[in-house]
Structure 1
Amino acid sequence: MDPNIYVMVLDTLNRATSQDAEVLKPAEKKLQEWEIEPGFYSVLLDILSNHSIDVNVRWLAVMCFKNGIDRYWRRNAPNAISEEEKQKLRQGLLTTNILGEPVAQIATQQAVLISKIARFDCPNNWPSLVPDLVCALKAPQPLVQHRSLLIFHHVVKALASKRLIGDRRTFQELTNSVYAFILNLWHENTELFLRHIQEGATTALITEHLEKALLCLRILRKLTVFGFKKAHESQDAVAFLNVVFDRAKTSLECRKLLKGRGIYPLELCEKFIIHLTKVALGVLGFHPFSYVPLIRPSLEFALYYCFTEQGMSLIYERFTIQCLNIVKGILQCVEYKLPKGVDQVSDPLTLQAHQIKMEVLDQNTVCHMCRHLVTHYFLLSSDDLALWDAEPESFAIDEAGESWKYSLRPCTEALFMELFQFRNVLAPELVRLLASLQQGPITPDDLNAILKKDAIYNAVRLAAFDLYDDVDFDEWFTNVLSQELKMKDNNYRIIRRRVCQLIGIWCGVRASQSLRPAMYEALIAPLTQSDEDPAVKLAAAEALRSTIDDFNFDVEQFAPYAPHAIAALYDLLVESEECDTKMHVLHVVSYVMERCGAHVARSGGTGALFAYLPQLWQHAASHNMLRAAALSATVHLLKAIGECSPNVRPWIVSVVNESTRLSEPAHVYLLEDALELWLAILETSQAPDPPLLSLAENLCPILEQSTEHLRIVVYIMQAYTLLCPEEFLTGAGGKCMALLEDMLSDMRIEGVITVLKMAEICISVTFPERNAFLGVKVIWPIIIRVIHCLLESDDLPMVLSVQLSLVSRVILLSSDLFYKAIQEAASNCAEYDRDPGKVLNRFLQVWTENMNLVTQVERWKVVGLGLAALLTTQNATVLERFPAILLNLTEVLNDVMKSEDNGTYIDGLVAPPGSRPASPLEGRGGAARWEEGGRARALDAPHAPHELRRRRLAAAHPARVIDLRAVVHHQLETLKVQVGAETFERLIQATDHETLQQIREYVPL
């Protein structure tokens, strides 16, 4: 770089911190250009370590440096930083200026930067890093000590994240070398900050030692969890773990003092306590057997602070969550549970852990925990009710995923459900709590009583499956719950919401079939009332989805309620303001459509919903997940109705086009649902139109990107091929087939079969006379590839079956095309001297020897028809295989022929007049298709356009229209004329006696 680069870079960094876009943009561009220049990062290091330079400039320098590490530090990265410059940078990153960085934010970024390099280079290329940091930790200057600890924390964090065996071994060696030192440093600083708090020292003094203690604790947590194979085998680790809960108790008392004085370090103190509990959770998760000695103290600790009045006066929410999660972790731990049906426990620590757990969690303790969870933690707080009033939609959306790790309510509910491994103790306790509610009516003004009832109802909801034998839900619903839904006081919205949730869960646990209509009415009622609370409506909608998404769901029973449900859900969708809420409602709509299908279509309640979707699409312009839900709902609407209104069709096509263009960033979220919608619009189309045909141009880029969506893309190609074969295969379809052929060698078995089945469809459809062989032309490279594959004969039977069927379809179309394919394949077969005769001989050998691997009966017959068609092609190689061909034809006849009452034989696959043939579109599941993972259903309307096209194709399937016995008889007679009676007799005599005996039952020879 230029000798004056330091000045130039400094000036550019200055300009890059400007608020003026005209100054900022060129400077950013220049910095990007310099990223790959030798020496650039050395200059950045000089700038960021110069404390006299403006803080914003140094901040930008460290961020540029950090980004460069990610991109250019790897040895094999394009434009990688040279080894000489790396060495210089490593030396400069632990200088006095770096370790004495006065600005905390810059110091943190420098620590992260060093840790990124350490992850690449430590210990092999940077062996001095850890010793230098340990040395710096002993420096007399407090700031240097703090910054060294900060760097060491981030280095340990980075190294602990590596998971290869060699890296883990290295980290264990690092742990052994520094653990005792860091532990002593932690003890030192912890004692100092605790004493300073108790003595009322200055904020600065408390903060100094508290920050160091917290950094040491973070380091110790990583070292303890990831630095030992068995933590309990290290005396230092055991010593550390034994004081964790004592330190937490003392820190909680000190927190109380800090809180009383209103001193700043309160937040730091809370972080320190939380990290102590994180140590316990980490060891419990990664070293359960090392945690066995801590089971009793940790349970007693959590029980005191979370379930007694004295303890609860000292705690705060985040700490409560951690403690409850420790209890949950112990209850959940597989290593602490006795295996069922085993007399002897394999590990004595398992028995010890189980005994400790059962001693601490005796019957009285478990019952107390259950009551306390229900009557204290489950109660809606004033903050909950305030949120409900201010943002009912946000309040109503349930937290999901792993929210139990961070939020109090999901955490308490998760622990409550885990406690029910003591079902025999807790079920009667919960029934007693439920019975206590029946002592008298609750007035709407008694909010406390309502909140208590809500909490108990919530507990019964969570434990529903464990209360199957203890609660008569039919009686409860009929006499109590259904009446409570009719109580319209504002406070009673709390109960109405919970009753809806109870119905939603208990319908799948224990609710009689005869009660379901009453449940549907109870849930639809709040949805149809304009003055009902939004949170209650959303709970009713979700409960309705649960009642429909149930094993015992009866479509006919729900049919009378379908139009009311759809209309109510539409109103709720329009009323909802939050995108997340609309998304939830759309999911319910999709469930109703999916489960009820044509019943919903007949109700006529879908028109308004269909008309609203374009408006919703525009509303969700910046909310891709809502748009994805809208696409899914549209798919289910189309499939339920079986047709697409001309008014909404242009919008659907444009939406599919927008969502399947890979140039659009939103395709990442929308592509999967858009492909389903694309297929649905094709299946409802009576005839192709220009927008639909131009849409097909989006298929190739999707296939080029990956095979993730191969199955649905091929379904779309099949639908196009049935709708408009000539237009599709002469355009986008032909390009797609060429691309699929090129991808075949890298595909897994499922993908290969999918592509071959698509090729079979291409030559199954009917083309105009001028393009009679268009299908063969499009798949010609695939046919050549199939011949090469069959010559090797190393494919699995399922692949070989489709390959033979495809070749047979070509033969049935034109034997000349088959011989032409053999000739072209031979031109690339050096091992067969490029001789078509040798290739054909080998091909027929593989065919006749492996034909019995074809298990699907229609394919079995088609392959037999293909063999029979070759008999009269006057090819000497074919006649050499005559005995084997006749043997295979006999076996096919044995399978497909069936005997009539009068003793005559008929072809059992030839469809009688007026019957509905099976679909040749294998993998589509006949008339209805379910996607993997329970996704959208294929159109099941018997008169849907695609279904009619499918039936026409199925009706023309060779296995269904050609009488195999007649074909074999005709071919043998023709062959006899072609070769003469004497030669024909010789061919017959070359065939074994048993085969002749069997074939004569069907065909006279």
Structure 2
Amino acid sequence: MDNLEQLVTTLRSAASQQSADIKPAVQALTDNEDKFGFHFALLKVALSSGLNLETHVRWLAVLYLKNGIERHWRMHGPSPLTEEEKNSIRNEILSSFDEEVNQIALQFAVIVSKIARYDYPKNWPHLLHILLTAIESMQVLSTKQRDNTVLLTFRYVVKELSTKRLPNDRKLFSQISCSSYPCIIATFDRFHKTVVEMLSSSTGDSNTLLHAIEKLLHILKSLKCISPALDSTTNCNFINEVLTMLKTFLGLTTSHSFKDQLVLDKCHKVLLVYSKILLDTFVVEDNKVANFVPEIVNMCKQCIFLFAENRALFPERFVVNCMNVIKLLVGPNEGQKDCSVSMDDMQDLLKGLVFSFLPLTAADLENWEEDVEEFCSEEIGETWKYNLRPSAEVLFLTLLHRSPERFVPVILATLDTVNQNSQKDVLQDHQGVNSVLLNDAVFAAVGLAANELFDELDFEMWFLTYLSPYVQKCVTTPCGKILHRRVLWLIEQWMGVKPPNEARTAMYDFIISSMDSNLNMAVRLAASSALRQILDDFEFDLDTFAPFQEKCTDSLYKLLQDSQTGDSKMRVLHVLSFVIERLGSRVVSCAHKLAEILPAIWQVSEAHNMLRCAVLTTLTNVVVGLKEQSVSFHPFLINVIHTSTDTTSPAHIYLLADGLDLWITVLQNTTDLTDSLMQLFNNIYGLFEFSSESVRACIEIVESYVVLGGCSFISGIHGQKLSAAILSLVTDVRDECLLLVTRLLELTLQVAPAVVPEIFQQYVRDNIQHVLTDETTTILSTARMVLIARLALLNPPAFWNLLQRQTGQQIGNALMALTKIFNDRIDCVIETEPRKAVAMASLSILDQYAESEPVRHSLPQIMCLCVQVLHDVCDESGSDTVLVTSNPEAPLVFNEWDNFHFMRVRTLLNAGPTHTVSLQTFVKQKLEILSDIHGGADNLQTMLTAVVDAQVLQELQNFL
């Protein structure tokens, strides 16, 4: 842009509320990004606070400057800035310390840090000296914005430099930290003492105090960045000073009455940064800081207990960090640090966690009443690092694992007390509510400690004699739902540790009854999770569960209808899907209900793709259970599969994997290739182009279509399109994918040997070329050899024709080379049936014996190969074990775990020559042809004796 006025006008248009002005202005700014002087001009506009420019114009200028530096500052980046413009920016940007607008000052601090990442110290050696000089000279009680901006900039610079990970960069940052530390810690000491004095004496105005605490925060956060790079001795001194000042600050915040909420919030932020420093300190093992462990644990424990009494004293995140610090110090992999914490301290802490942090709070109960499904949403990931109750649970487990022999008796004694006290009928009054909440907390501890209590607590007996009657007694009381939900959660926790034996039926009845629609939604959702856990067991017996099957599916069906949120529906659907999987073929009894509710859920969940994934999983299990009866679902299923696998639809990104599984399952359990299934096949072509991750599933789908549709499918319109798609697919894929395609073509050849060589001619010819020229013995090369062998066996004329086209006048030599390849690589073929196919294919080559001299020279190798394979396929009596002796017309036995696709493949393969013709018979037939050519059996014997090894010939005669 020609001048600053034009740039300001463009920025003003880009920041306007008129859409007609924004687009051309943004385009103009983008077009000027790589022009000399543009970023320096942006800096001049952003710094022009004295020119009465609008704040939003300066704000936009500084944002464009920050993004431009991110993209163009590096020497090897796109359109890099010239050194002249960089120098101008570095010299001018330090005047940003006088920026008065906080948001713009923050962006300037980020910009300086980005430049420092690339240029410090080589091209900007004085940056840190300027910052440290300004920090050293600033006054604590000053309210100048400049001081805040300088500290903010220093903080971002050291934070940015600390993220560099190359060895030289880490060494440099260590030097920076050591040189900066004396100035920063001295400044920190001054600011901290002043803030403490002001808080203690309640002197000075709130504005001055807020500025002082804000600057103290910046200094403390800077120290948090540089302290890990300090040497061990300096770091110990720093931790000692932090502990001293933290105790002082804690004393003030717990005893001081804050009139200004802003001051209290700032003090809480200071405490939070202190706790983060302690967390960072003990992540790395350091024997010198181990001396602080007892003191830190004691201090954190006191903070936790104080917070339990008054939750307004500290921010919740501060207490979470205190718990995480203790977890880090007493954890199992901390060596010497473990020994520094007394067992009494840990025992007091464990009891405090159970009785103060595991019970549900008034806020929890309020959330339960306001939005029960949100209250029941499951927390995942490392929530213990940030949330109070998960953090308390993890610390409880850490303490328990630290010394189970000490703490298990404590838990059991507490449980005995609860069992005795709960016999009193105190559930109607206010005291009863507190009793129920404490019982709930103790039960939570027993569930968390299930692994440690495995040998100490007979959970089945406890459930039968105490838990179940207790729930029945209080189920109609206002607080009964709390204990009911907890007992169901207990079952879920213990099932993975100690599955039931005698109590299994009683638990089935208890869990399924707990899903009754008259009960609270939290109880019903907990029951569904417990059901999922108790069914996921090796000892699960369908006959034992059969009496509860109908009630179970009805209850889940009603719970699914009553669920309002997508997360709850998805959670229940996963349970229902698992139940359907367990029921197997018995799912028929609830099929009509599923047919009613699943389409409805699919329709209303268009914006909730994860819920649709759960629907797809459920449908897959339904189809597996219904088998051929799933055909009645096809109108809905095919529409669902089309939506999930259509690459032109954005939803396929989420639904593709589950949609492909459903597609495969539908094909494997259907009996006819309908027009709607044929139309669905068009999605395959887009999937082949989409991603290699889905190729395996796509090829499995194609196999199902080929076997289901037979020759009519291959010779129809999809045959040529599929051939073109495969040729396009194999141009740039790994051997794993080529192996899948080769095996697909091998199966296709067995389905339609008459038409496949012509339709897939180019791919077959490429495989012939690979077999003849590739000297490797990989799995892929072996698969290609078996494919060519099957072609020679199943369609000899097509084989000769394709070989003739591929090799021309050298077909005889090609046949001899192919025979040698068969003989040399037969040991690479692992399974017996394809070994027999290769042997029969080599015998088929003898059909050219009379016409081809090279084939006659290959006779010894063919006979050697046949004898070798005869040893593999024949049993002790000399019978061919590959033959299918049963009546090929008789229907195959349908096992419960089978599906129609496996039956069709089995029928197809059993009808092939390797399963219907014995290898001995096939050898005899080919030798009879040779006998006719040589004028009789005696002449043939003479010829064989002359060219074939005597031992091979003797073994061949023994087999025949």
TM-score when normalising by structure 2: 0.90
Secondary structure at 2:875 match in 1: strand
Residues in 2 aligned to 1:841 and 1:291: alpha-carbon distance in whole angstroms: 78
- 1:824-849 deviation line (CA, Å, top 9, x unaligned): 6669xxxxxx9666665555444322
Residues in 2 aligned to 1:129 and 1:112: alpha-carbon distance in whole angstroms: 14
Aligned residue in 2 for 1:935: none
In the alignment, is the contact (CA less than 8 A) between 1:331 and 1:419 conserved in 2? yes
Secondary structure at 2:576 match in 1: helix
Secondary structure at 2:503 match in 1: helix
- Aligned-residue offset at 1:147: 2.0
Secondary structure at 2:408 match in 1: helix
Aligned ranges 1:400-439 → 2 under 5 Å: 400-421=380-401, 422-439=403-420
Stretch deviating more after TM superposition (249-258 or 394-403): 249-258
Aligned residue in 1 for 2:871: 894
Distance change in 2, residues 1:69/1:588 (3 Å): farther
Distance change in 2, residues 1:262/1:908 (3 Å): same
Secondary structure at 1:466 match in 2: coil
Aligned ranges 1:187-586 → 2 under 5 Å: 187-200=189-202, 201-225=204-228, 227=229, 233-256=231-254, 260-287=258-285, 291-307=289-305, 314-332=313-331, 334=333, 336=334, 350=335, 352-356=336-340, 360-362=341-343, 364-421=344-401, 422-439=403-420, 440-445=423-428, 446-486=432-472, 487-527=475-515, 529-586=516-573
In the alignment, is the contact (CA less than 8 A) between 1:366 and 1:426 conserved in 2? no
- Aligned-residue offset at 1:783: 5.2
Distance change in 2, residues 1:503/1:83 (3 Å): same
Segments of 4+ moved more than 6 angstroms: 308-313, 915-919
- Aligned-residue offset at 1:106: 2.0
Aligned residue in 2 for 1:160: 162
Residues in 1 aligned to 2:478 and 2:702: alpha-carbon distance in whole angstroms: 56
**Structure label with greater radius of gyration:** 2
Distance change in 2, residues 1:283/1:140 (3 Å): closer
Distance change in 2, residues 1:288/1:281 (3 Å): farther
Q: Count how many residue pairs are aligned between Structure 1 and Structure 2.
A: 939
Residues in 2 aligned to 1:520 and 1:149: alpha-carbon distance in whole angstroms: 64
Secondary structure at 1:869 match in 2: helix
Residue identity (%): 29
- Aligned-residue offset at 1:403: 0.7
Residues in 2 aligned to 1:29 and 1:389: alpha-carbon distance in whole angstroms: 52
- Aligned-residue offset at 1:814: 2.8
Secondary structure at 1:95 match in 2: helix
Residues in 2 aligned to 1:566 and 1:581: alpha-carbon distance in whole angstroms: 17
Distance change in 2, residues 1:441/1:889 (3 Å): farther
Aligned residue in 1 for 2:640: 655
Residues in 1 aligned to 2:803 and 2:288: alpha-carbon distance in whole angstroms: 69
- Aligned-residue offset at 1:548: 1.3
1:641 aligns with 2:626: yes
1:593 aligns with 2:570: no
Secondary structure at 2:766 match in 1: helix
2:774 pairs with one of 785, 792, 801: 792
Residues in 1 aligned to 2:687 and 2:114: alpha-carbon distance in whole angstroms: 36
Residues in 1 aligned to 2:68 and 2:292: alpha-carbon distance in whole angstroms: 45
- 1:766-792 deviation line (CA, Å, top 9, x unaligned): 37xxxx323663374265146426633
Residues in 2 aligned to 1:665 and 1:430: alpha-carbon distance in whole angstroms: 52
Residues in 2 aligned to 1:58 and 1:917: alpha-carbon distance in whole angstroms: 85
- Aligned-residue offset at 1:517: 1.8
- 1:597-633 deviation line (CA, Å, top 9, x unaligned): 21223xx113222322222123222222222222222
Aligned residue in 2 for 1:856: 831
- Aligned-residue offset at 1:522: 0.7
In the alignment, is the contact (CA less than 8 A) between 2:772 and 2:814 conserved in 1? no
Aligned residue in 2 for 1:688: 673
Distance change in 2, residues 1:139/1:474 (3 Å): same
Residues in 1 aligned to 2:481 and 2:160: alpha-carbon distance in whole angstroms: 50
Residues in 2 aligned to 1:406 and 1:99: alpha-carbon distance in whole angstroms: 34
Residues in 2 aligned to 1:483 and 1:1000: alpha-carbon distance in whole angstroms: 81
In the alignment, is the contact (CA less than 8 A) between 1:653 and 1:692 conserved in 2? yes
Residues in 2 aligned to 1:977 and 1:718: alpha-carbon distance in whole angstroms: 42
Distance change in 2, residues 1:309/1:154 (3 Å): closer
Aligned residue in 1 for 2:691: 706
- Aligned-residue offset at 1:281: 1.9
Secondary structure at 1:265 match in 2: helix
Task: Give, as a single letter, the amino acid of the residue that structure 1 aligns with 2:580.
Answer: M
Task: Give, as a single letter, the amino acid of the residue that structure 2 aligns with 1:804.
Answer: M
In the alignment, is the contact (CA less than 8 A) between 2:221 and 2:273 conserved in 1? yes
1:106 pairs with one of 101, 104, 108: 104
Secondary structure at 1:855 match in 2: coil
In the alignment, is the contact (CA less than 8 A) between 1:442 and 1:450 conserved in 2? no
In the alignment, is the contact (CA less than 8 A) between 2:359 and 2:437 conserved in 1? yes
Residues in 2 aligned to 1:503 and 1:799: alpha-carbon distance in whole angstroms: 51
1:624 aligns with 2:609: yes
Task: Give, as a single letter, the amino acid of the residue that structure 2 aligns with 1:605.
Answer: C
Task: Give, as a single letter, the amino acid of the residue that structure 1 aligns with 2:483.
Answer: I
1:959 pairs with one of 898, 914, 932: 914
Residues in 2 aligned to 1:420 and 1:75: alpha-carbon distance in whole angstroms: 55
- 1:387-428 deviation line (CA, Å, top 9, x unaligned): 011111111122121111111111111111222221111111
Secondary structure at 2:659 match in 1: helix
Secondary structure at 2:905 match in 1: helix
Stretch deviating more after TM superposition (743-752 or 711-720): 743-752
In the alignment, is the contact (CA less than 8 A) between 1:288 and 1:333 conserved in 2? no
Aligned residue in 2 for 1:847: 822
Residues in 2 aligned to 1:993 and 1:23: alpha-carbon distance in whole angstroms: 95
Distance change in 2, residues 1:309/1:650 (3 Å): closer
- Aligned-residue offset at 1:569: 1.1
Aligned residue in 2 for 1:831: none
1:997 pairs with one of 949, 954, 957: 954
Aligned residue in 2 for 1:47: 45
Residues in 2 aligned to 1:916 and 1:806: alpha-carbon distance in whole angstroms: 27
- 1:804-837 deviation line (CA, Å, top 9, x unaligned): 222212222334544555566669xxxxxx9666
Secondary structure at 1:10 match in 2: helix
Task: Give, as a single letter, the amino acid of the residue that structure 2 aligns with 1:977.
Answer: D
- Aligned-residue offset at 1:135: 4.9
Residues in 2 aligned to 1:240 and 1:897: alpha-carbon distance in whole angstroms: 82
Residues in 1 aligned to 2:159 and 2:425: alpha-carbon distance in whole angstroms: 55
Distance change in 2, residues 1:24/1:968 (3 Å): same
- 1:104-155 deviation line (CA, Å, top 9, x unaligned): 1222233334444444555566555545544554565953343233233333
- 1:843-895 deviation line (CA, Å, top 9, x unaligned): 54443222212212222222222222223333443443433332232221111
- 1:552-580 deviation line (CA, Å, top 9, x unaligned): 22233223322222221111111111111
- Aligned-residue offset at 1:472: 1.2
Distance change in 2, residues 1:514/1:18 (3 Å): same
Stretch deviating more after TM superposition (441-450 or 404-413): 441-450
Long gaps (5+) in structure 1:
337-349, 828-833, 920-925, 929-939
Residues in 1 aligned to 2:952 and 2:481: alpha-carbon distance in whole angstroms: 81
Long gaps (5+) in structure 2:
none
- 1:35-67 deviation line (CA, Å, top 9, x unaligned): 455544333222222223211222222333334
Secondary structure at 2:653 match in 1: helix
Residues in 2 aligned to 1:571 and 1:310: alpha-carbon distance in whole angstroms: 41
- Aligned-residue offset at 1:457: 0.8
Task: Give, as a single letter, the amino acid of the residue that structure 2 aligns with 1:792.
Answer: D
